[in-house]
Amino acid sequence: MDKILEKKSLTNWLKKLTGYDVYAPVLKDDLWNYEIISDGDNLELDYLNTVQAPKKFIFPQVENLLDFGSSDEGTPEITETLPQPNPTVILGVRPCDGKAVILQDLVFGGEFTDPYYWNRRNATYLVGLTCNTPPSPNCFCTSVDGSPHSQEGLDILLTDLGTKYFVEALTDKGRKLVSAGQALFKAPTAKDKKDLEQVKTGSEKKIKRQIKNLKKVPPKLKDMFDSPLWDEEAMSCLRCGICTFLCPTCHCFDISDEVTSSLPLKGHRIRTWDTCQFPDFTMHSSGHNPRPDKASRLRQRMLHKFQYFVEIHKKYQCTGCGRCVSLCPVGIDIIEVLDKVRDYG
Amino acid sequence: MVNLDELKKEAKRVLEDGKVKYVIGYVKSKASNMAAPAFVTDPEEIENLIWDPTCVQNLTKFIVDEKKRKAQQKKPDTRPVAVVSKGCDSRAINVLLQEKYIERDDVFILGVACEDLGVIDEKKLAQKLKGKRFGELTFDDKKNVVATTTDGTVKVPVKEVLAERCVECQANTPLIYDVFLGEEDRRKPDAPFASVEKMESLSNKERGAFWQEQLSKCVRCYACRSTCPMCYCDECVVDTINFAVTPDTTAQEKALRIKWIERASTKSENFGYHLVRAIHLVGRCIDCGECERVCPLDIPIRFLNKKLEKTAKELFDYEPGMDTEKPALVASFKDEDPEEFIR
């Protein structure tokens, strides 16, 4: 379903979305982040990409899995705490981050579906925005089978056409949001459609960074487990979690029990983000660590995204958002590393 | 001005002489406008080294890394590593020496003077360019940063975009070195604690609200800890299982290990983490400001350390890393030490 929404009507549309929590990118302390929008009056969808991907709405950093305790008689009691979130609209999702949600779905769906994830996922409406110009100098979506106007994972894709948005409602959820705005949406003219195509084609050409022949990388990685390349590339790594915690597709987690009272026993079992970049991620209880150094951990990040995930799901586990490149304190550049892998040997 | 050719010559000399294992310096990064650390073993590659106000990282961290790496190797190469070191970074080396974490022979210091400049703060620069996207940064001989933007080039005096830590810097010239490059021009800042004094002028309630908001942003990526040359502990209080486990550690010992700070990145646990870290840096933090620069969520962590630095200065007239002859602050006491705060 294709529609046109005048920019000045955006606020009116959001006002009609009663019953939804609406989040949009807001600039605070020089950083773009999703904040809840109460009226949307000062909303301008002219933002660089948010520092944190919308993944945090669907796969939050801390998820309470269950509460535990013991009754007065001492019998253990366990209460499952499945989230029941309000319907939530995330406005202004970059196409790379929309696609990332599809990749997360593969992990939390499939053979073992994760109800905590899906309760949030099903309540989340993703309204994307085409990147007419790349929001980061390190964008490389076109190299990983994506595009600045990709529709994957989104319920609606908005494209800025100057004074109006071209609105493509892509799913039932998207169409539901559009119908809430009823008369605000007009049918597109032939010219609008032509403009849309032009903007979309133009947007791809503006992506500056690219990895040529990425398809050569996954087979190559298979033979590079013991390569000295990892030692060289990881020399400057600080072993922090920026690249993975801010990655829209990284999904590793840890489960721990947090006791709030010992008598009577009370506490929560929580799931928190974890990262392969922390030394304790693979620490065995014996004290042995199979990934003992930062080279093996950098290798893991590359192999998971560009070999294992490709083998299992036939997709790269990277959407080219560029966050890990731009935010790495020491300039470790996934594009450069993959270039070296491709040309190695 | 530091003569870059001179720096390269010295670096190449120690490398070719086999005097050092490798040289830690700065190179241009493809990924960012700031420099990237480089580890040069091939004398030919010394050519790539740079020295300019984008050289933000405190390379002293990598001396700590080298020590840890050597500890894992059966037959480590015991030659020193050479490191390009700014004034603040050299203070960090001093603290490591003072704490006997490293030996003087472990490191060959190529000291570089910042003179009247320092390093730039990318965010300040971005504000100057009023949201224009900038590509390459270069520096002219009049001490301007020249940024290539989508609408041509923009010149901004480096001084206007200096990192706050450089504005308040107390050691723009290296304090310890084997080779010294540049002019020795020890400037004293007019107000070394201006930023934290501004914070102190707020009421308790205002400060409380400020930190509640700031620390609730923390995602516990631990980049602040990871980049800090003083955070060299093998065992950190925030890591649930990163304590020294030996084959003799029993399951019960592991289970009973107290978790001082929980894994959840909730406000209270984030406060726990940041305050524990700050307290452990009293008399040790040399204000390289890297913790704040690397924070992806722009939490102004430097305030915490600066406040404690100021307190140590006021109470004990102690400045970390300035004088290695003095005993470390927390490892010494004098009869005349003030104790009004012990109640």
Per-residue pLDDT band for B260 (boundaries 50, 70, 90) equals confident
In this structure, are B328 and B185 located in the same domain?
Answer: no
Q: Which amino acid is at B118?
A: G
Mutate to test the interface with A, among B32, B69, B217, B230 (most CBs of A within 10 A): B32
pTM exceeds 0.95 for this model = no
Instruction: List, for residues A45-81, the tens digit of each pLDDT value.
Output: 878 889 999 999 999 999 999 999 988 887 889 999 9
Burial class (CB in 10 A: 0-12, 13-18, 19+), A66: middle
In this structure, are A315 and A251 located in the same domain?
Answer: yes
In this structure, are A53 and A119 located in the same domain?
Answer: yes
Q: Who among A30, A287, A293 is closest to B249 (CB)?
A: A287
In this structure, are A39 and A143 located in the same domain?
Answer: yes
Instruction: From B120, B127, B123, B167, select the one nearest B143 (Cα to Cα).
Output: B120
In this structure, are B53 and B174 located in the same domain?
Answer: yes
Closest-CA residue of A relative to B69 is: A293
In this structure, are B267 and B180 located in the same domain?
Answer: no
In this structure, are B330 and B204 located in the same domain?
Answer: yes
In this structure, are B237 and B218 located in the same domain?
Answer: yes
In a domain, B87, yes or no: yes
In this structure, are A40 and A154 located in the same domain?
Answer: yes
Q: Which residue range is the domain that position A13 belongs to?
A: 2-205
Q: Which of A140, A171, A205 is the last residue of a domain?
A: A205
pLDDT above 90 covers a percentage of chain A that reads 81
In this structure, are A117 and A62 located in the same domain?
Answer: yes
Q: Report the SS3 class of residue B53.
A: coil
Give the C-alpha separation, A209 to A145, whole Å.
14
In this structure, are B331 and B229 located in the same domain?
Answer: yes
- CA torsion sign for A21, A26, A28, A34 is positive
In this structure, are B99 and B227 located in the same domain?
Answer: no
In this structure, are A155 and A250 located in the same domain?
Answer: no
At residue B127, does pLDDT exceed 90? Answer: no
In this structure, are B27 and B88 located in the same domain?
Answer: yes
Asked if B37 is an interface residue toward chain A (Cβ–Cβ < 8 A), one would say yes
Closest-CA residue of B relative to A287 is: B245
In DSSP terms, which residues pair with B7 in a beta bridge?
A: none
The total domain count for chain A is: 2
pLDDT above 70 covers a percentage of chain A that reads 99
In a domain, B165, yes or no: no
Q: Who among B30, B242, B264 is closest to A280 (CB)?
A: B242
Per-residue tokens: B100:
């006997």
Pair type for strands A124-129 and A253-262: unpaired
In this structure, are B61 and B176 located in the same domain?
Answer: yes
Q: Which residue range is the domain that position B246 belongs to?
A: 198-336
In this structure, are A198 and A256 located in the same domain?
Answer: no
The total domain count for chain B is: 2
Per-residue pLDDT band for B92 (boundaries 50, 70, 90) equals very high
Q: Which of B160, B190, B220 is the last residue of a domain?
A: B190
Asked if B222 is an interface residue toward chain A (Cβ–Cβ < 8 A), one would say yes
Q: What is the ipTM of this complex?
A: 0.92
Average pLDDT over residues B77-84: 96
In this structure, are A284 and A165 located in the same domain?
Answer: no
Q: Which of A176, A205, A234 is the last residue of a domain?
A: A205
Instruction: List, for residues A152-194, the tens digit of each pLDDT value.
Output: 999 999 999 999 999 999 999 999 999 999 889 999 999 999 9
Q: Which of A157, A181, A205 is the last residue of a domain?
A: A205
In a domain, B132, yes or no: no
Q: Report the SS3 class of residue B55.
A: coil
At residue A240, does pLDDT exceed 90? Answer: yes
Mutate to test the interface with B, among A232, A238, A244, A257 (most CBs of B within 10 A): A238
Give the C-alpha separation, A98 to A94, whole Å.
6
In a domain, B126, yes or no: no
Per-residue pLDDT band for B132 (boundaries 50, 70, 90) equals low
pLDDT at B213: 94
In this structure, are A151 and A297 located in the same domain?
Answer: no
At residue B297, does pLDDT exceed 70? Answer: yes
pLDDT at B30: 84
